[in-house]
Amino acid sequence: MLERTLGEDIVLKFDFAKDLRTIYADPSMVEQIVMNLAVNARDAMPRGGQLVVRTSAADIDAQYIQKNPEARVGQFVCLSVADTGVGMDAQVLGRIFDPFFTTKEVGKGTGLGLATVYGITKLHHGWIEVSSEVGRGTHFKIFLPASSKQIEPSVNKPADQVVRGGKETVLVVEDEAELRLLTRQILECYGYRVFEGATGAEALKLWPQHAQEIDLLLTDMVMPEGITGWELAEKLRIEKPELKVICTSGYSVELAKMNLDAPAGIRFLQKPFKPQSLALAVRECLDE
Ligand SMILES: Nc1ncnc2c1ncn2[C@@H]1O[C@H](COP(=O)(O)OP(=O)(O)OP(=O)(O)O)[C@@H](O)[C@H]1O
Ligand SMILES: [Mg+2]
């Protein structure tokens, strides 16, 4: 698949470490990381070049952390993607993970590729290192924790079961742009259709036109402006009583209490959540 994406002028090389530790990750999301990086590399090498995809073990110690405060001590797996393309200057480099930042022409890039890579990496408790030199090329390194005890157990359900997806439509309301994008990506990976809004007001604007199609509302409970996720859910359920609702929040105590006497069709999901936990909550709520 990569080869086809890259075209004939780009030489693709793989270098996978033998006996690599396993990582605890969503395979489709890791694939998405490689794909987004490879597509960028292709765009950076209009006259051809070389792309090297490599995996290696990385033991991160305290000394390493001093160089990169984002890193964490422990055993990691490094996924590296290096191209011999046009490279980036410091100014571009400083903004590449911003959602919607692009240097490509209108219609060519949306600027979400690396924001997604960043989001997925964060979700897996990893980090990214980039080096680039104008005219020489760019090297991305994605560090993902090796699976041992480094990942805290899911607060929801065991995440290693295979979760069924679906074709239903979900309205995602979340004020944090990165998380909203990520949530969308996860749900789309599982086959769902997604509408999104940054605020309750945005969701309400979207609602009249799409009320018919929307099966589930996935909303942050606490939002900075206007109505809360809870108020939004109540409003929409008056118009469409069969609408399923999942409220997300980072406040676990609050959530634990609320799940006990939640009305039918309404669930609570604690943030941060793993992709599988989200997919599971959505599936279960829809099937209720
Ligand atoms: N391998 C690379 N070499 C040179 N520049 C890059 C590379 N990867 C990313 N960039 C720069 O970072 C910007 C942001 O990349 P990102 O993938 O987020 O968005 P995009 O490729 O412009 O659009 P999209 O991925 O949404 O189609 C790019 O527009 C480009 O300027
Ligand atoms: Mg891109």
Integer angstrom CA distances of residue 127 from 96, 173, 198, 222: 14, 26, 25, 27
pLDDT, tens digit, for every residue of 148-184? 644 444 444 444 557 899 999 999 999 988 889 999 9
Return the axis-axis angle of helices 177-189 and 113-123, rounded to nearest 10°. 80
Strands 74-83 and 137-145, bridge-based pairing: antiparallel
Mean pLDDT of 121-143: 94
Q: How many CB atoms lie within 10 A of CB 108?
A: 9
Q: Whose CA is nearest to atom 12 of ligand 1?
A: 96
Evaluate: CB of 85 within 6 angstroms of ligand 1: yes
Q: Which structure tokens are listed for 51?
A: 């792309």
- Cβ contacts of 142 within 8 Å, gap of 6 or more: 33, 78, 79, 80, 81, 117, 121, 126, 128
Residue 244 has pLDDT above 90, yes or no: yes
Burial of 215 (0-12, 13-18, 19+ CB in 10 A): buried
Evaluate: CB of 11 within 6 angstroms of ligand 1: no
pLDDT number for residue 9: 93
Mean pLDDT of 180-201: 93
Integer angstrom CA distances of residue 241 from 196, 202, 281: 20, 20, 19
Evaluate: CB of 142 within 6 angstroms of ligand 1: no
CA 118 / ligand 1 centre spacing (Å): 12
Q: Which of 130, 43, 117, 119 is nearest to 82 (CA)?
A: 130
pLDDT number for residue 189: 87
Evaluate: CB of 115 within 6 angstroms of ligand 1: yes
Integer angstrom CA distances of residue 217 from 196, 223, 273: 10, 15, 17
Q: How confident is the model at residue 251 (pLDDT cuts 50, 70, 90)?
A: low
pLDDT number for residue 149: 45
Mean pLDDT of 116-134: 91
pLDDT number for residue 261: 59
Residue 22 has pLDDT above 50, yes or no: yes
Q: Which residues surround ligand 2, an ion (CB under 5 A)?
A: 40, 113
Q: How confident is the model at residue 254 (pLDDT cuts 50, 70, 90)?
A: low
Q: How many CB atoms lie within 10 A of CB 183?
A: 26
How does DSSP assign 156-219, residue by residue?
Answer: SS-TTSPPP----EEEEE-S-HHHHHHHHHHHHHTT-EEEEESSHHHHHHHHHHHTTTEEEEEE
Q: State the Cα–Cα distance between residues 114 and 270, nearest whole angstrom.
A: 26
Helix H or strand E segment including 81 = strand 74-83
Domains in the chain, ordered, with CATH? 2-145 (3.30.565.10), 169-287 (3.40.50.2300)
pLDDT, tens digit, for every residue of 62-115? 999 998 888 999 999 999 999 999 999 999 999 999 888 999 988 788 888 898
The answer to whether the bond into 241 is cis (omega within 30° of 0) is: no
Evaluate: CB of 111 within 6 angstroms of ligand 1: yes
- Cβ contacts of 152 within 8 Å, gap of 6 or more: none
CA 43 / ligand 2 centre spacing (Å): 8
Farthest CA pair distance, the chain: 62
Evaluate: CB of 41 within 6 angstroms of ligand 1: yes
Most informative mutation of 51, 96, 105, 131 for ligand 1 (most atoms within 8 A of CB): 96
pLDDT, tens digit, for every residue of 34-61? 999 999 999 999 999 999 999 999 999 9
SS3 call for 135: coil
Residue 248 has pLDDT above 60, yes or no: yes
Evaluate: CB of 86 within 6 angstroms of ligand 1: yes
Burial 139-170 (b: 16+ CB within 10 A, else e): bbbbbbbbeeeebeeeeeeebeeebeebebbb
> Who wins on pLDDT, 32 or 88?
88
For residue 176, give the amino acid letter: E
Residue pair 217/228 in contact by the 8 Å Cβ criterion: no
